[in-house]
Structure 1
Amino acid sequence: MNNPMLEAVKTLLKETFEGPEENASWYTEAKPGSGLFGTLKQLSSEEASISIYGTSIAAQTDHTRYYLWVANSYLQGDVPEKDWEASWKITSVDKITWKQYNDELQQEYQTLFKTIDSLDSLDEQTFNGILGAIAHSAYHLGSIRQMSKAIKVPSQT
């Protein structure tokens, strides 16, 4: 479907996850790597496991993945059974699990992008779901970026 609103949605979704293009931004920091994937790539599993105000970057990451999975399910006509609390129970990850969380987040993002491309009609609920995916993911991007600043503070020696 060639729809200007959907093209704008894809631009913002791409900026949220992949970062802005060529030092231009609609709302994120206009630097390479400032999207969710670039931000997460800079973090080790140990850093992703640090608890900050009762949660970790690993939990924020998996929650974002889970939200996208739910959104994808609804957009594809399924009504999944949901357990929103499950992702927040994550306290720490090892290197393998951290990579898995990042890979699964990328897969859900790619699925959402393909689903948007395949839409042949838009009703209000579908549009709300897509816009909600952007807003929710952008919220967690901001949280993760602030948390990563807190754990990477240079020592004051």
Structure 2
Amino acid sequence: MSETLASSIKTLLKETFEGPGNEGSYYTDSKPNTGVFGTLDGLTAEDASRSINGSTIAAHSDHTRYYLWVIRSMINGIDFEKDWEESWTISTVDEVKWAEIREELHKEYVSLFAEIDTIDLGKWLTNVNATIAHSAYHLGALRQMIKSLEIEK
């Protein structure tokens, strides 16, 4: 059962971040590149810095990265102070900072994805499921923000 559960979690994490596989989608668009990474690909720092309803794509992206880091830190027993407000402070980014945010988001995702096979899912299942739900929420927000960018251009 644990193997099946880990596989299911990884499938949903992968769809959220990498997009659906060839076998179809469970909850995102079934088109290629509709996960977080494909959604962010091709966006400039200027796009990521544009304020849309009081937030930016850069802030949503970094907040998602921070959430993954928090969950991984908890799983790994790292003592830290959560600062959710700090994870929302990014507004304007240059191309270097924008690339760094995307790279760090990818790194946190890959690390969590790899840990799914090694952690006690009985103990961490709610946290891991919350990560999927939280990240999928922000994927939806990012996709809506991008629609707004397309209207403005």
TM-score range for the pair, normalised by the shorter chain length: over 0.9
Q: How many residues align?
A: 153
Partner of 1:149: 147
Deviation at 1:99, TM superposition (A): 0.2
What percentage of aligned pairs have identical amino acids?
50
Question: C-alpha offsets along residues 60-79 of structure 1, whole Å, 9 cap, x if unaligned?
Answer: 00000000000000111223
Question: C-alpha offsets along residues 6-64 of structure 1, whole Å, 9 cap, x if unaligned?
Answer: 11010000000000012610000001010000000121110010001110000000000
The alignment's C-alpha RMSD in Å is 1.5
Q: Normalized against structure 1, the TM-score is what?
A: 0.92
2:42 counterpart of 1:63 = no
Moved over 2 A (4+): 121-124
Partner of 1:75: 75
Within 2, Cα distance between the matches of 1:97 and 1:32? 26
Question: C-alpha offsets along residues 85-124 of structure 1, whole Å, 9 cap, x if unaligned?
Answer: 01211111100000000000000001101111212x3334
Structure 1 segment 38-117 matched on structure 2, within 5 A: 38-117=38-117
Structure 1, gaps ≥5 residues long: none
Deviation at 1:2, TM superposition (A): 5.5
Q: 2:6·2:121 contact (CA, 8 Å) conserved in 1? A: no
Q: 1:23·1:31 contact (CA, 8 Å) conserved in 2? A: no
Amino acid at match of 1:142: G
Deviates more, 1:99-108 or 1:20-29: 20-29
Within 2, Cα distance between the matches of 1:79 and 1:131? 21
Q: 2:2·2:121 contact (CA, 8 Å) conserved in 1? A: no
Deviates more, 1:72-81 or 1:62-71: 72-81
Q: 1:76·1:115 contact (CA, 8 Å) conserved in 2? A: no
